[in-house]
Amino acid sequence: MASGLFHQIQCPICLNDFTDPVSLPCDHSFCRRCITIDMEINSDACRCPECRSTFTRREMRDNRLLRNIVEAARRHLEEHETLRKRVDRTAPPPVTQNNSPSDLMCPKHDDEKLKLFCETDLKLVCFICREEDQHQGHKFKPLKDAAEIKRTETKEARDMLLEEDQALTDLIQKQREEIRMTKERSKVLSAQISAQFEEMHQFLREKEEELKRRLEKEERELVDGMEDTVGRIEELLSDGREEQGVLLSALEIDRCDKLLVWWSEDGQSLVEGIQCERLPKAESLVSLSENLSLGPYESYLQFFVWKEMLGIIKPVPHRHILEDKNDPYLKVFPSGRAVQRTTKKGVFGTKKGETSFAFIKESFTHGQHYWEVEVGEKSSWAVGVTDHDKLNTALVFTSDEGYCIGKDDDDDDDDDEVVMIDIRDKPRKIGVYMDCDRNKVLFYNADNMSLIGKAECNLKMPHSLCLSPGMYQDGSNSDPLTICWY
């Protein structure tokens, strides 16, 4: 491929146009087959053939943009080559030192020079050829005039190719800049993730130390009491054993007179004192058997810590309330968090007068915003965002048709855009993420944060959360939709 794009779309290994290009973390690109063979040859470590930086097989990524650029450049240069060959076929041989003036003589009419150009047949002709039947009605121009016109057209075509060449080259550079910015953005987001997790880790570490200190304090208080009890018991045990020794010594006195002397002096008071005690000493003391406990933290530690952690989590889903517009189809609860369908009849999901939506009071034109809505086991509902003039984008569920993301302009032309969605696990709670800066709305199963679907929409006008509790269905779908607060 002969073009200024040549080096941009050439694999550094095989030196041919990229085939199924892949990119490495270092931003260098290669044909998938070429880099695979290179990795097999250098099986000890995967290194980029250009910069020698290491990578893993899992880090290789399809470079779809480069593949598309290569295909576009190939088509562009093939068209250029086709045009060049066409010019070569029709152009006369250049007059050089090796070309004699006879090269421009008419092959059919001797001694006649080719002085005309037939614009109809695109051939050089002489004056006699012009008068022949095969050229009747054709247009002719002198060679100099025709050559000047074709030279101008050729230059214009070349300029167009050069302009397209430059546009493709600029596109490559722009995409590489986008790749660089994406990587920088990824680093910023990674640092943001680390910082937010570090904040939670710090909270958990501090909470862990606090609970351990509380446990140690309770342990000290209980153990100190038990140690005091052990001291008193040991003191009584020592006194009892001393008295046992005295009594044992008295029992070993053989002479009656000596035994009676001991009795009269010490024995009587000692024995009577022991006998007069109301309870044995062991029964007068109680061994402390307090069970060390953390109270509810012992069994529900993670739950209570999670509740406390909510105080440091910022931001949390918005704590917005719904406006009561006195819609006869809707009942907004006094708290402003829930909306319920009344018993009035109406067809769900069609015209404005028959589709009832409640809106939150706040509207947004920039930034990112997130809400969670409890849908429970309802058989029909809709959750989305709106500009208050028309429903912009909503996730809709009916038990008959399933889930879909719809863009409703509230007109009667039936041109509303609807995309059906297949969901395996029925969500009980829907997360709505509105990114005003990127004009995107995403819907999640808030129980596990799995993505349900997303839609592109124009969020330049103020938008807010909107809810529809669906049809009343004779009371079977009367449960409210509730905005979750944390």
% of the chain exceeding 70 in pLDDT? 86
Mean pLDDT of 455-479: 88
Q: What is the pLDDT of residue 284?
A: 62
> Considering the domain boundaries, does residue 392 fall inside one?
yes
What digits encode the pLDDT tens for the residues 445-462? 998 889 999 998 888 889
pLDDT tens digits for range 48-94: 888 888 888 888 888 888 888 888 877 877 777 777 676 666 554 44
The rounded distance, in Å, linking the Cα atoms of 50 and 66 is: 18
Question: What's the pLDDT at 101?
Answer: 43
Residue 25 CB neighbour total at 10 angstroms: 14
Handedness of CA 113, 116, 120, 122 (dihedral sign): positive
Q: How confident is the model at residue 428 (pLDDT cuts 50, 70, 90)?
A: very high
Count of domains for the chain: 2
- pLDDT for res 93: 47
Task: Choose one of 36, 62, 89: the last residue of a domain.
Answer: 89
Element (H, E) at 392: strand 391-398
Is 206 among the domain residues? no
What pLDDT is stored for residue 464 in this prediction? 92
Within a domain: 79: yes
Residue 406 backbone dihedrals phi, psi, to 5 degrees: -120, 145
Banded pLDDT at 349 (limits 50, 70, 90): very low
* Per-residue pLDDT tens digits for 309-336: 877 777 777 788 898 887 888 999 999 9
Is residue 2 predicted with pLDDT exceeding 60?
no
Residue 329, pLDDT score = 84
Band (pLDDT 50/70/90 cuts) for residue 7 is low
| Six-digit token string for 392 | 């912009």
DSSP string across 304-353: HHHHHHTTT--S-S----B-----TTEEE-TTSSEEEE-S----TTSSGG
pLDDT the model gives residue 100: 43
Q: Which of 50, 65, 89 is a domain's end point?
A: 89
* 266: DSSP letter: I
pLDDT tens for 12-51 read: 898 888 889 999 988 889 999 998 888 888 776 788 888 8
The pLDDT of residue 258: 87
Question: What angle do the packed helices 296-309 and 143-251 form, to 10 degrees?
Answer: 150
Nearest-CA neighbor of 73 among 158, 161, 146, 150? 161
Residue 35 within any structural domain of the chain: yes
- Residue 34 is encoded by which pair of tokens? 């070429």
- pLDDT band at residue 345 using 50, 70 and 90 as cut-offs: low
Pairwise CA distance, residues 109 & 129, whole Å = 8
What is the rounded distance in angstroms from the CA atom of residue 127 to the CA atom of residue 142? 10
Q: Which of 380, 404, 394, 405 is nearest to 481 (CA)?
A: 380
Task: Evaluate the CA torsion angle 41, 45, 48, 49 in order and state its sign.
Answer: negative
Here the tokens at position 465 are 């959360």
pLDDT at 350 over 60: no
- 335: domain CATH number is 2.60.120.920
Global pTM exceeds 0.85: no
Distance CA 219, CA 262 (A): 50
pLDDT in tens, 139-198: 898 988 988 988 999 899 999 989 999 999 999 999 999 999 999 989 998 998 898 889
Q: Read off the CATH number of the domain in which 20 is found.
A: 3.30.40.10
Q: Which of 64, 89, 114 is the last residue of a domain?
A: 89
Strand order in the sheet with 140-142: 123-125, 116-118, 140-142
Instruction: Report if residue 183 sits inside a domain.
Output: no
Is 115 within a domain?
no
The Cα 220–Cα 206 span in angstroms is: 21
- Residues 302-313: tens digit of each pLDDT: 888 888 887 777
Indicate the pLDDT class of residue 471, thresholds 50, 70 and 90: confident
Which residue range is the domain that position 1 belongs to?
1-89
Is the bond into 94 cis (omega within 30 degrees of 0)? no
Question: What is the pLDDT averaged over residues 466-478?
Answer: 87
Amino acid type, 179: I
pLDDT per residue as tens digits for the range 78-135: 777 777 676 666 554 443 333 444 458 888 888 888 889 898 888 888 987 888 888 8
> What is the pLDDT of the chain when averaged over all its residues?
83
Residue 352, pLDDT > 70, answer no
In a domain, 307, yes or no: no
In the numeric block, the tokens 């409890």 are attached to 374
Q: What is the mean pLDDT of residues 346-366?
A: 69
Half-sphere exposure of 314 (CA within 13 A, CB side): 4
DSSP state of 113: B
Does residue 36 fall inside a structural domain?
Answer: yes
Q: Is 449 within 8 Å of 317 (Cβ atoms)?
A: no
Structure tokens at 461: 């006008």
Q: pLDDT tens for residues 196-221?
A: 889 889 999 999 999 999 889 888 88
Q: Are 10 and 37 contacting, i.e. CB atoms less than 8 angstroms apart? A: no
